[in-house]
Structure formats: structure tokens, C-alpha cells
Structure 1
Amino acid sequence: MSSAYLPRLVDDLLAEYLASFPAVMLVGPRACGKTTTAARHAATVLRLDTRQGTDALRADPDAALRHRAEPVLLDEWQEFPEVIGAVKRAVDAERRPGRFLITGSARSNTDELLWPGTGRIVMLPMYPLTVAEATGVSPRPFIERVAAGEPLVGAVPSPDVADYVGLAVRGGFPEPALELDATGAQRWLSSYADQLALRDARSHSLRLDASRLRRYLDALAINSAGTPQDKTLYEAAGIDRRTAHEYERLLADMVVTDHLSAWSTNRLKRLSRTPKRYLVDSGLMAAILGADVGDVLSDDNLLGALIDTFVTAQLRTEAPMSATRYRLSHLRDQNGRREIDVIAELPRGRLIGIEIKAAAGVRHSDARHLMWLRDSIGASFVAGVVLHTGHDTIELDDRIVAAPISALWN
């Protein structure tokens, strides 16, 4: 293995999938490192975003996949979608594990009933770097540690709020996160947003209006980590509801946006069903808004939204890798008086609640919504954590602690 390669959280799980399934699709946003990681697990690489990679497939894709050293990596499959049919036929003919590894910057057609990969290709998400990955550490997933009752200790030396904002503004795309200075990183991320609208998205929709899509992306960035109504977004972008829904699907398909579904239960009444919307990367959010560290620190609303987007990105990336299967959601009642930023739902209905505070000082009252949830659901409440930008871990109440955000990767 090359010493230059930075191990990713997905590596071990990808190896397990290839040992068990004939075809695995690694899906994530463009430039998050999919090709670099996938190539390390492949014996043959076919890059479908190049003419050389597709020439052999155009005439006879089935024949082009035969007799190649496996696993065969089919990189950027959405540039030549016909290859999925060839993979289907190859897997149907011989269903041994580790035959194909497919990467793409789109989930296109993966939800359609007639998509040929159903039952044959297993999906595995990959996201931009977490801080743990970028710094070369590999703690157990945070939710696993909370569920096990492990101590939550922050990093040493302890970051302060400006340090956290600096990490969030740089984001997790490997090039700006690891190789560029602050100015270069912001320029890279701004260019990335422009290219999403001007080039990448056009391969998904011929009817696309790039300037309107960019305005809609701006509206999503402003509202990242929020629960805006659809009307708020499409009016801000100057488009109609139908166009907004099309753009929403498109950006989710390209793994640029994500959401946390609203958690609900029959035991609690009047809970909102509105999802919490996010850009998948806090650095991309900051670049779209043209905000640097100083801008963020001078705007409390932006600070809170950026830190929430940053922390949720760390948790989102860990979730598929965890041995403890859990789902992430959020909780908010219909009048907005009670809300919990992240809910991790463990097997058998057990819950962990996480509040994210862009403040160094934590008070007992900051846990009031977690205490309300604990008292409402009883033994199903495993633990609550208030993640903050200070230095200390503090027990706030029964099964509820405050811990530094850096406990995520320490």
C-alpha cells in the first residue's frame, strides 16, 4: 500500500462487501475520493468518463467485461449507463462475490423499479472526509461509544470556536481539506459549486437552467441545518414549486444535499414531519455563501447553522460503517418549542439524542429538550449529549452529558 494513501472509513466495509457480493456500487459526491479508494480494491480499472474507457464497451459491453481481472472497477458509471445492464447479465450468469466495483457521482435510476441493478448491486455511500479521517485517527463511531457508555473526552490541545469554524469552512473534500491554503480552498469550493450548476447537473437534465439551479443551491446553503418550507426555498430562488422539486431531486441524486427525516412516535403528539435539510459538506456551504472564518464568527445564525452542518456530516459518514445499526433523524414539535438536532435510533427503538451548540459555555437548561424526551419515553432513552465548542465534559443530568465537539474524533 502506498504511504501517500489516506485510509477512509469506508475501506474495511468495502472489502467486506466485495467478499460477500458480486457487485458493489460506491456512491458519493464528485471529488470526495471514490476513485482513489475504489482503485485500491480493484484489479482492473475502466474509467467511463474517458473515451478510452468507453470505446471497448460501446460495441459490445458484455464481451468487454469478460475475461478481465476481477474486481473490475467501472468508474463514473453514469457517463455510460448501459454498463449497468452488462453488469446485470454478467452477475446473472455467474454470481460469485467480488466481480464488479462501480463508482458514481449520482444515484440515478437506483430507486426505479425497472433499474437492472436491483437485487444484484449493493449500494455503499461515501462522503467527504471526516476530521477523524483527515487526521489519521480511527475511533469507534461516536454513536457506538455513546451507546456503550464510554467517556466522551475532547481532543488535546482543545480546539476553540474559531478552530471549529476553521475546520467547518475548509470542509471534507480531500483537495481543499488537505492540500490547499484557506484562500485556495475557498476558491476550489466556489468553483465546485459553479461547476455543479454549469456542467455536472446538465448531464442529468437537458432542461436545466444553470443560473436558476445555482440560485436554488444558494437558498439551500442559507437554510442548511434548517427546516424551511418548500415555498421559502423556491421563492428565494425565483422559481416555481415544480422546478424546485426537480432541482431538489437532482441535487440529492448528485449527493450534494441530504436531509434528516423527522422522527415520530405514537407516544408523543404534535411532532413535525418536516425534514431537516443539509448540504453534505460544511465547506461547500460556506463557499456558496462567500463566508470565511471571520464572517461566520460575526453572525450567530450562520455560526450555528455551519457548526450543525459540520457535526452532522461527521455523524452521517460514520453511520453506514457502524456495527450498531442505527438511523439518524431529528425531532421538532409543530410549534417549534422543542427540538433536538439529531436523533440516533438504535435497534429495538432505543434512542440517543444529540444537541449541537456553537457555544463554549453549557448550562443545565441547554439539555431541557433532551430531559423532556428522556422523561417522555423512559427506558427507551439511552443517552443525551450536548456537543459544544468548549473544553470540558460535564454531567448535566441523568443519562445526559455535555461534551466537546472534538470528542467525535478523539
Structure 2
Amino acid sequence: MVDARLQRLLSAFPAVALLGPRAVGKTTTARSLAGSVVRLDRAAEAAAFEADPDAALIGLAEPVLLDEWQEVPGVLGAVKRAVDDSGRPGRFILSGSVRAELDTQTWPGTGRVIQLAMRGLTVAELEGASASSPFLQRVTANDPAALGPGSEDDLRSYVQRALRSGFPYPALRLSDDERRTWLAGYVDQVVSRDAPHVGGARSTVRLRRYLEALALVAGGVVTETTILQASGLNRATAQSYEQLFVDLHILDLVPSWHSNRISRLVKMPKRYLSDAALIAGVGGLTAEDVMRDGDILGRVLDNFVYQQIRAECGVMDVPPRLYHLRNQDARREVDMLVELGGGRIVGIEVKATASPSRHDARHLEWLRDELGEAFVAGVVLHTGPRAFSLGDRVTAAPISTLWCQVEQAVVRGR
């Protein structure tokens, strides 16, 4: 999804920072558009940029890909100065696996470098089944036919899709057993090399324990105390580790949604791992293990759906904002809220059932009644075979409608 977006940004801006977790395919994507490539994670290539980054940039064919820029942070200043001298489009691509430097208020790229997040491959990309129009556009039509045909997928096949991963190498090249080995190695790399390298000396044992706690609460709204108890860490250490995994693009914090129209909503974020397969990878779980544990099953499914929605939002020219909603007594909860332009709201529930009913949509109906016209659509994503209406502006639809192909005439007809 991100390739076309990156190309458009380079045609309009002098520099683009392509950010995402390690092994997500940033280098491959950026190389396809680069005029020259500098691998700053290679000592021989980094040496010149450490000594004199301004001089090292001179004469390189543009766009210049500065891969793993965080290995030589001084290169950011050189990019700033080069862009100040000439702001013509398409000069630099910065590719990296860390967001911390780019998020500071004083970093030299502010106002000069456009950030673009790169996520794992979606099912649509893995299977070449991209829909004729975005899911979020189709769902606002409030017509089951606009969401596409049913599929033969069931709960087990959705779990298998989730555990296939969105990381290109394991998803496209490895068997199930080989993929579990790769994911276990990926987790080891994150806690033993990446996290200490970025955040300074850290205990790999405690880092792993905290990552295991994150996997247990992925897709859920839990108190800080719950995570502290699960990880056995104190508050300061846990907060430090949480920010570290956010900076490494391993963890997403989805904020709670607030409105003056609805009172007593919680302010806690919802936590998702960057790839649902990491939930199983951290614990060494197979698809059978996930199927036998209802709690883990729900978290894997929710995280998997979130990945597909997040990827779609990320490549839109004006990305919608993602939230979750839960009130303080936990009587009302909506898995995901997508805030479109003009304050329009789409509510999404994820259910591990093949036969959803209005009971599964009760929180969406409540939200619709509270928000009135601002609520444009609600959808209960399920594991069954077909889409159908559950009432005014609320639809039940198979999870597969996130990537299914839809006849253009159906979409245009709305």
C-alpha cells in the first residue's frame, strides 16, 4: 500500500522519512525509488558520514536513500542543510526503525522531512486481492452489498492468516514451523539487540518479561497496575519500556476517544503489537494453542483486524484517526472508532462468531443513538460467510470484507 504513497510524497517534498519496525520491508520499498543507496548500518559506508556528513552527500544520485539513518544521527543535520540550500522535491529518503529522534521538538528535520509509517503487508497485498475501493469508504455506504461477497474463511483460517504475519520474509517464504522459528528469533533480536542499542543498557530478561505482558494484554484496555503485576516491574521501568517499544515500532498505543456528548469515558490507551503474529511469537504459540485459549484468540483476532484497518488509514492523503471507546464501568465498549473528516465516526466491533446478532451490535447501537448524525456507520466484523444489516447504520460483515474485491458498479451505485 505504501509504495504509491511514497512516490507521491517524493514528487512533492524534498525528503521523506520511511519509518517502521525492523524487517518490514522499508529498504526494499525505498530502493525501488532511490537513485543511490547508503547503508549506514555498515561501518565502511557509515565512516564518511560520521566524519563529514555534508561532504558525503555531495554528488550522490537523487533520491538518496539513507538506510538505518539512526546509526549516524548527525546525518539529519546534513539533510536539513542540503534541503535548506535546495528544496526541490525528491532529494532524500530516510529509512529507519526508530522514531524517537524524529519525534523530538528540536530535531533538525522539523518542517523539512515528511514522515511516512510503513506497516507489515496486509492480506490484500499478500494475496493480490485488493478491493476496488477502501473498506472505510464501502462501509459508510451502509449497504451490505457494497462490502462485497462472502468468503469461505472461518475462525481457524482467520487465525492462520493472522499467524502468517505481515513481515514479508516469513509471510511469503516460510512454512508454519519455519515462521515460528523466525518470529522467535525476531523477538530475541528486539530484546537483546535493538532495545538495548536504542535505549542504553537494559536487562534482556526484564525486557522480554515486559514484552510477554504486552502480548497478554494486546487488543485490550487494561490498567497500568495490571501490566505491572503481569511483568513484575515497577512503574518507572514499565513506562520506560513501553516508550522504548513504541519507539521501535513494536507497540502501538491507540488513544481513548472523548466527546462532550458522552460522559465517564476511560482515558487509558489500548495496546496493539505491530503484528498479530508477535502475540504468538512471544509465547511460542501455534494456531492450535490460540484456538484453545479464548482470551488469546480474541486478542489475536482483534490485533489482526487492527493491522488491516491501520494500514488502510496510513496511506490515505488525510489519514483518519483511530481510537477506542470504553466507559468507566465497562458496560459500554467499542473496539475501534475511526474518526473521518468533519468529525464523522465509524464504529468497529470484532467478534469471534460466525453468526452475529443485534446483541453483538448493542454498543454500536448505543453509540449511534448518543451521537446522532455524527455516527455514519457501524460494523460488526465476524467470522461467518456473509454481510447483512443489523439495523439503522449498523452492518454485520465477514472479516474478509477488509480485503475482498467488489464490483465497481456496486460501489458506484451508492
Matched, 1:153 2:148: yes
What is the CA RMSD across the aligned residues, in angstroms? 1.2
Which blocks of at least 5 consecutive residues in structure 1 are unaligned?
1-8
Q: Distance in 1 between matches of 2:308 and 2:168?
A: 15
| The one of 352, 355, 359 aligned to 1:361 | 355
Aligned with 1:401: secondary structure? strand
Q: Who is 1:176 aligned against?
A: 170
- Counterpart residue identity of residue 147, structure 2: L
Q: Distance in 2 between matches of 1:80 and 1:149?
A: 50
Q: Distance in 2 between matches of 1:200 and 1:159?
A: 37
Residues 144 and 324, structure 1, Cα contact 8 Å, conserved in 2: no
Q: Distance in 2 between matches of 1:298 and 1:229?
A: 26
Q: Who is 1:5 aligned against?
A: none
Q: Who is 1:200 aligned against?
A: 194
User: 1:112-141: CA deviations, max 9, x gaps?
Assistant: 121111111110000111101111232232
Q: Distance in 2 between matches of 1:292 and 1:15?
A: 38
Q: Distance in 2 between matches of 1:365 and 1:149?
A: 19
Aligned with 1:110: secondary structure? helix
Q: Who is 1:102 aligned against?
A: 94
Q: Who is 2:65 aligned against?
A: 73
Distance apart, 1:215 and its partner CA: 0.3
Q: Distance in 2 between matches of 1:15 and 1:204?
A: 29
Q: Distance in 2 between matches of 1:57 and 1:155?
A: 54
Of residues 135-144 and 370-379 in structure 1, the stretch that sits farther from structure 2 once superposed is: 135-144
Matched, 1:25 2:17: yes
Aligned with 1:31: secondary structure? coil
Q: Distance in 2 between matches of 1:245 and 1:300?
A: 28
| The one of 183, 200, 219 aligned to 2:213 | 219
User: 1:267-292: CA deviations, max 9, x gaps?
Assistant: 01111111111111001111112211
Residues 71 and 98, structure 1, Cα contact 8 Å, conserved in 2: yes
Under a length normalisation based on structure 2, what TM-score does the superposition of the two structures give? 0.95
Distance apart, 1:79 and its partner CA: 1.0
User: 1:77-131: CA deviations, max 9, x gaps?
Assistant: 1111111111011111111110000000010222212111111111000011110
Distance apart, 1:328 and its partner CA: 0.8
Distance apart, 1:155 and its partner CA: 5.3
| The one of 106, 124, 136 aligned to 1:143 | 136
| The one of 380, 386, 402 aligned to 2:396 | 402
Which blocks of at least 5 consecutive residues in structure 2 are unaligned?
405-414
Q: Who is 2:330 aligned against?
A: 336
| The one of 221, 236, 254 aligned to 1:260 | 254
Q: Who is 2:410 aligned against?
A: none
Under a length normalisation based on structure 1, what TM-score does the superposition of the two structures give? 0.96
| The one of 82, 85, 97 aligned to 2:77 | 85
Q: Distance in 2 between matches of 1:273 and 1:385?
A: 23
Q: Distance in 1 between matches of 2:251 and 2:285?
A: 19
Q: Who is 1:234 aligned against?
A: 228
Q: Distance in 1 between matches of 2:141 and 2:39?
A: 43
Q: Distance in 2 between matches of 1:374 and 1:108?
A: 38
Q: Distance in 1 between matches of 2:305 and 2:149?
A: 14
Q: Distance in 1 between matches of 2:63 and 2:167?
A: 26
Of residues 136-145 and 327-336 in structure 1, the stretch that sits farther from structure 2 once superposed is: 136-145
User: 1:162-211: CA deviations, max 9, x gaps?
Assistant: 10000111211111111000000011011101110001111112231111
| The one of 338, 346, 351 aligned to 1:352 | 346
Distance apart, 1:42 and its partner CA: 0.4
Q: Distance in 2 between matches of 1:325 and 1:79?
A: 29
Residues 392 and 404, structure 1, Cα contact 8 Å, conserved in 2: yes
Matched, 1:64 2:56: yes
Of residues 182-191 and 319-328 in structure 1, the stretch that sits farther from structure 2 once superposed is: 319-328
Provide closer, same or farther for how the CA distance between residues 165 and 154 of structure 1 changes in structure 2, counting only shifts above 3 A.
farther
- Counterpart residue identity of residue 147, structure 1: T
Q: Distance in 2 between matches of 1:316 and 1:402?
A: 20
Distance apart, 1:32 and its partner CA: 0.4
Residues 9 and 16, structure 2, Cα contact 8 Å, conserved in 1: yes
Q: Distance in 1 between matches of 2:199 and 2:344?
A: 41
Of residues 57-66 and 383-392 in structure 1, the stretch that sits farther from structure 2 once superposed is: 57-66
Distance apart, 1:322 and its partner CA: 2.1
Aligned with 1:304: secondary structure? helix
Number of positions where the alignment pairs a residue of Structure 1 with one of Structure 2: 401
| The one of 271, 275, 285 aligned to 1:277 | 271
Distance apart, 1:302 and its partner CA: 1.1
Distance apart, 1:154 and its partner CA: 4.4
- Counterpart residue identity of residue 33, structure 1: G
Q: Distance in 2 between matches of 1:398 and 1:337?
A: 22
User: 1:358-405: CA deviations, max 9, x gaps?
Assistant: 111111111111010111111111011000011011111011110000
Please identify runs of 4+ aligned residues in structure 1 that moved more than 4 A: none
Q: Distance in 2 between matches of 1:149 and 1:133?
A: 25
- Counterpart residue identity of residue 139, structure 2: V
Q: Who is 1:167 aligned against?
A: 161
Q: Distance in 2 between matches of 1:195 and 1:27?
A: 18
